[in-house]
Structure 1
Amino acid sequence: MKLYKIVTIQHINASVEDCWDFFSSPKNLQTITLDNMSFEIQDFDDKRMYQGQIITYTLKPLFGIKVSWVTEITACKENEYFVDIQQFGPYKLWHHKHFFERTQDGGTKMTDVVHYALPFGILGRIANQLVVKNKLKSIFDYRYNKIEELFNSKNA
């Protein structure tokens, strides 16, 4: 199994508590996801992130094909980090860590680390080279820009 890694670091002009308030709410996932992915939460218990939480949603990540995704929050420490893993979905493995650190200027350094693997062996590797890694880059670029707009723009 070939394992891939994505790391994103972003400085946010908001307190760790304000960042946590936003990012620990599954409802805000749709806000930071590309519109053309048709992201829709199907079920969650309407609570802030906590260890053991299950979130189910549908989205259209590639070619307009609708897929179901089930995420479990496997670790969570308020105002510091949470980890989500795919229990069911398009990846062979999806492990996403979110870290929040106070900065000296009163803002927050947010670090995302994603490890993922695709099914289908060599075909999955080819798909990653041709399509998947570029799609993930566009998803994380959109997310980065949306967070800039929400937290770091003069209008925020």
Structure 2
Amino acid sequence: MQTFIKSSYIKCNIQTLFDFHLDVNNLKHITPNDTKVTLITKDFKPKQSETLEIKSTKYFIPMYWKVKIEKIDEPNLLVDIALKSPFKYWEHKHIFIQHKDRCELKDVITYELPFGNFGKLFNPFIAKDLQKMFDFRHKITKEILEKGLN
């Protein structure tokens, strides 16, 4: 298993940050331009044990995800686990911590690639791609919430 962690600080209150992440329509706004996201599940409202289906397309390659909301602890935690994805295992913890006038947004992703040892050869590429994607996500989330555009 591999773990990726990205953390940043945003000037907002914790409930605003939590609510922003509950709105799955925001995925389209915080996804890098080289990836297109289509919500297959329409009008999804995250609740524990509910599932969301997403199609993401990158380099003209469609990838289908079925994600289960594993845990919601409002306003501090949202955990989703992929039931179907390009990964053998994928768990994404969205952690929100209030620090006076700022919130810490922390993404912790635990994943395993398919194909055993052969799949492990791709870990450096996946880590680089995750870094790029979450740098973008955090940057855009910060811009949106600090400008009050949501």
Partner of 2:141: 147
- Residues in 1 aligned to 2:70 and 2:10: alpha-carbon distance in whole angstroms: 25
Alignment of 1:7-156 (within 5 A): 7-47=5-45, 49-61=46-58, 63-105=59-101, 107-129=102-124, 131-152=125-146
Deviations 1:32-85 (CA, angstroms, capped at 9, x unpaired): 1112211111114432x2211211010124x42101100000000111111001
Question: Which one-letter code corresponds to 1:76 in the other structure?
Answer: I
- Unmatched 5+ stretches in structure 2: none
TM-score between both structures, scaled by the size of structure 1: 0.88
Two-structure CA RMSD over aligned residues (Å) = 1.9
Contact 1:44 1:54 in 2 (8 A): no
- Shift of the 154–22 alpha-carbon distance from structure 1 to 2, 3 Å rule, reads closer
Question: Which one-letter code corresponds to 1:81 in the other structure?
Answer: L
Classify the secondary structure of the residue corresponding to 2:140: helix
Residue 152 (structure 1) shift: 3.5
Q: Which has the higher strand share?
A: 2
Large movers: runs of 4+ above 4 Å: 153-156
TM-score between both structures, scaled by the size of structure 2: 0.91
Residue 154 (structure 1) shift: 9.5
